[in-house]
Amino acid sequence: MAKFSWRTAAVVAAVVPLVALSACSSQGGRPADTGGGAAGGQVASTERIKIALITHAAPGDTFWDIVRKGAEEASAKDNVELLYTSDPEGGRQAQLIEQAVDQKVDGIAVTLAKPDALKDAIKKATDAGIPVVSLNAGESVSAQLGAFTHFGSNERLAGAAAGEKLASLGIKHPVCVIQEQGHVGLEARCAGVKEKVPATEILYVTGTDMTQVSSTVTAKLQATSDADVVIGLGAPFTLTILKAVESAGSSAKVASFDMNAELAQKISEGSVLFTVDQQPWLQGYGAVDSLWQAKRGGFKIGGGQPVLTGPTIVDKDAAASALTFAQQGIR
């Protein structure tokens, strides 16, 4: 897996809570000034700055642990105090952005799953002179909302890549399961699949209730005998879908987006066809590091364009190496 060339070994983690809501962090002190910059595993000697990372993560979704791990490693290298918070509801995520502005942070990294709910809060940040980058979701509206770059996968392209892979396997009737209705990135993924396999059906589930996810998928399979693959849009959801397919006695295959160690193991065993990996560790790392670069030298990584971290297809042939990285918490 390719890594950003700016990645340097971490020395110290510095993570503090921004607010009590949705945050669970520990505080670290200021590292000693090495005088040697960030090279050779040393902490940057630049002035300590404060960066807020605000995501739409839902409780229990392991994907965000990987994003956060990348952000923490960049923070350790760059002498950054990282403030991490999250809320899956757009209005509350906007409130977290406004709180970060009120705390006069030096930069904000934010996911744009529901951009309409966030646009006013982001404008408040940019009007206050706080640089903003986006990550993971909202690539198509990132620049319009005021972010100077975006770190993530082009979700329509990722969906099309999955669709091409499925078509090559002879799949005719996929069911694409969206766990959060209105999430622009998830909708784009399924639209990309449908672009390549026109008979694709969309199935909406409530991602905060895995029992409901399982029962809805089971009912769909019982009612749709010609469904030949079910696609989960996140590792925990795919693993639940896999169990639902088995319990329904369906012959449908299972495919996925995103990654964790358990899913990588299932791909290695052949239980899941493949996953489309967007490399979330890189998203967290790149977002924080780009804000530090902007602060230290006015650098704007990406030249006004998104920095793509995916898509990467991980099938059975690639699963062994992916599993190794997933067990380290970076895939």
Cα(136)–Cα(113) distance, rounded to whole angstroms?
8
Report yes or no: 174 and 200 within 8 Å, Cβ to Cβ: yes
Amino acid letter at 65? D
Tokens of 235: 């590792």
- List of residues 6+ apart from 127 with CB closer than 8 A: none
Cα(195)–Cα(104) distance, rounded to whole angstroms?
44
Cα(44)–Cα(108) distance, rounded to whole angstroms?
19
> 4 vs 16, 73, 239, CA distance in Å?
25, 13, 30
- pLDDT score recorded for residue 30: 35
- pLDDT score recorded for residue 244: 96
**CATH of the domain spanning 15-153+279-310:** 3.40.50.2300
Alpha carbons within 13 A on the beta-carbon side of 12: 17
- pLDDT score recorded for residue 4: 37
Per-residue pLDDT of 91-136, as tens digits, reads: 999 999 999 999 999 999 999 999 999 999 999 999 999 999 999 9
Pick the CATH number of 155-277 from 3.10.180.10, 3.40.50.2300, 3.90.660.10, 3.30.70.260: 3.40.50.2300
Q: Answer yes or no: same fold for 15-153+279-310 and 155-277.
A: yes
Where are the alpha helices (H) located in 199-303, listed in sequence order?
210-223, 235-247, 261-269, 280-297
Sign for the pseudo-dihedral over CA of 279, 15, 294, 45? negative
What residues does each domain of the chain span? 15-153+279-310, 155-277
Where are the alpha helices (H) located in 57-153, listed in sequence order?
63-78, 90-102, 115-127, 142-145
Ranges under pLDDT 70 in the chain: 1-41, 330
